[in-house]
Amino acid sequence: MKKQSNLSRLLGYAGSHKYLTYASWVLSAFSALLALVPYWYIWQVMGEVLEVAPEFGKAENLVYNGWMAVLFAVIAVLVYIAGLMCSHLGAFRIATNLRIATMEHIIKLPMGAAEEFGSGKLRKIVNESSGATETYLAHQLPDRAGAIATPCGLLVLLFVFDWRLGLLSLVPVLLGFLIMMAMTGARMQQKMKEYQNALDDMSNEAVEYVRGIPVVKTFGQTIFSFKKFKGSIDRYQKWVIAYTKELRAPMMFYTAAINGVFVFLIAGALIITRDGVTTEFLLNLIFYIIITPIISVTLTKIMFQSENAMIVEDALQRIDSVLNLQPLSEANRTKERKGSDLELRHIRFSYDGEKEVLRDISLTVPAGQTIALVGPSGGGKTTMANLIPRFFDPQSGRVLIGGVDVKDIPKETLMNTVSFVFQNSRLIKASILENVRMGRPEATREEVLEALKNAQCGDIIEKLPRGVDTVIGTKGVYLSGGEQQRIAIARVMLKNAPIVILDEATAFADPDNEARVQAAYSNLSKGKTVIMIAHRLSTVANVDKIYVVKDGAIAESGTFGELKAMEGIFSSMWKNYQTSVQWKVSKEA
């Protein structure tokens, strides 16, 4: 099956606007031909001047030819502007539809896929890769049509007057074209891909660094504490400098070739006129000297178009890296659930297909009970929780809710069954009312206010200038980590899903906020099946059962009292925790 060209793919997103794109090519090519007409009138002006010299008063058509040159130049510009208007309308439509298609596909993907990409890289793919296609369609393709039409018109002009000078004018064109092909071949395409990879890495690491600024400032670190960010900058710098040096020599020869047309014309003219100069030949030589700079401009346009075509090729490959990701399989209809009990049965999972993050995990959470997952960082606690709402699917084993495999539950039904309170809750730039209402869009204002009350958000609402209608974020108000967490809990309360997952939910709360967050959790957990991931062991004292997860396996399980009485991992963790909470900063006398 023949591979679809990049242009065909892009035009597939244009709809009826693709005809505007076609029109822009025609108008651009017509404009390029019209732009050559003034040179014909300039040649007429020069011919008449040389013919009547030195009695210039006898020239009768100078004004007419001059104004005709101006008229055709203006018409060429107006036609070109019309072409650009058409190309921009088509390009904007294509870029918009491409962004929409990419975002709609991302929404269908499991959340884990987006996390693996990284928010910085994903943002760059959606925005900048589609933006690259916009530049290509709005400017480069119309200019390419013009760049093709210009040489065709030039060939006619070059050979109409003096074929010998015409051939000499083409020598630097041939040299420049050969050098350009050497610079913009398959190797250049690979280099362009490396360049975009370096930019992607730097963009992704920059986003992660900005997110980590609170940690950097708190512990008095510098940019060098983020070795991955510093490394991405160093790699980009090294690549750009090496690539610039590599292209320095060919670019120098290319520039010399396309701008050295006068050398060939003058040298050829000296040879041709060794037996004498005629007025006609002098007129033709002056005409060629005037018109040949168009050749260098046209070649330069073609070179940058070739480079931009490679950028578009790379941009589409990056968009394909997202579009080629397959959404998780989804059931057509829901099997009947019996309750909200939860079971993980012989789960095995790995992110890269090699190292197992979870190894034969099995556990059962009866409906209405609260369990806690504790253990060393990197043990697999969050991964276990991510499998329940199908952020990922395990390589083997089953996750069941009410006796039904989550793979047999439609996505919308599953999302209404499971709520997730993340470690770092995300609120959108909108009012508190709208942020909470995301949990259940059809909820009334009174229901939102009730959820906020149950989530212990009364003190937050009271201090805000417009209460629940206060906008959060840019040009709005900013909330602390604990306050954001309580707003997120209100959202989950409003959703009222039977299963709730709490992932390190008090990690960023100060002592005062932590007490309110815990009170909010108490209200949230009533009648719910709750899976809590916690580092602060004081928060798990009253749960029904604790699972200690280490190295991808359940090492211990039991109630708080049972595990504390054991001489095991949890007992050791509890002793260390008790010691840490007793630390105090002493003040020397």
| Residue 472, pLDDT above cutoff 70 | yes
Lowest mean pLDDT among 127-141, 190-204, 253-267, 478-492: 190-204
Residue 82: the pLDDT is: 95
Mean pLDDT computed over 294-300? 73
Q: How far apart are CA 168 and CA 264, in angstroms?
A: 6
Residue 176: the pLDDT is: 75
Helices (H) and strands (E) in the chain, counts: 23, 10
Q: Select the highest-mean-pLDDT range: 133-137, 206-210, 318-322, 549-553.
A: 549-553
Residue 519: the pLDDT is: 79
Q: If phi over 0 gives left and psi between -120 and 50 gives alpha, with beta otherwise, what is residue 548?
A: beta
Domains of the chain (ranges; CATH) run 6-323 (1.20.1560.10), 342-580 (3.40.50.300)
pLDDT in tens, 410-442: 888 888 888 888 776 678 888 889 989 988 889
Q: What angle do CA 336, 338, 342 make, to 5 degrees?
A: 115
Mean pLDDT computed over 442-466? 88
| Residue 505, pLDDT above cutoff 60 | no
pTM across the whole model: 0.61
pLDDT in tens, 178-203: 777 776 666 666 776 777 777 777 77
pLDDT in tens, 445-455: 999 999 998 88
Share the mean pLDDT of the chain: 80
pLDDT cut 70: percent of the chain above it:
84
Residue 83: the pLDDT is: 93
Phi, psi of 221 (to 5 degrees): -90, 175
Residue 565: the pLDDT is: 87
b/e per residue 127-152 (b: at least 16 CB within 10 A): eebbebbbbbbbbbbbbbbbbebbbe
Here the contacts of 507-514 (C-beta below 8 Å, separation 24 or greater) are 507/423, 507/424, 507/481, 507/535, 508/423, 508/424, 508/480, 508/481, 508/482, 509/481, 509/482, 509/485, 510/480, 510/482, 512/482, 513/480, 513/481, 513/482, 513/483, 513/485, 513/486, 514/482
Q: Select the highest-mean-pLDDT range: 45-59, 107-121, 136-150, 511-525.
A: 136-150
Higher pLDDT, 563 or 229: 563
Residue 589: the pLDDT is: 41
Mean pLDDT computed over 474-484? 70
Residue 585: the pLDDT is: 46
Residue 1: the pLDDT is: 46
Q: How far apart are CA 126 and CA 106, in angstroms?
A: 10
Report residue 520's pLDDT band, with 50, 70 and 90 as the boundaries: confident
Report residue 205's pLDDT band, with 50, 70 and 90 as the boundaries: confident
| Residue 11, pLDDT above cutoff 70 | yes
b/e per residue 347-375 (b: at least 16 CB within 10 A): bebeeeeeebbbeebebebebbbbbbbbb
Token output for 381: 């606690």
| Residue 586, pLDDT above cutoff 50 | no
Q: How far apart are CA 149 and CA 143, in angstroms?
A: 10
Lowest mean pLDDT among 207-216, 239-248, 315-324, 357-366: 207-216
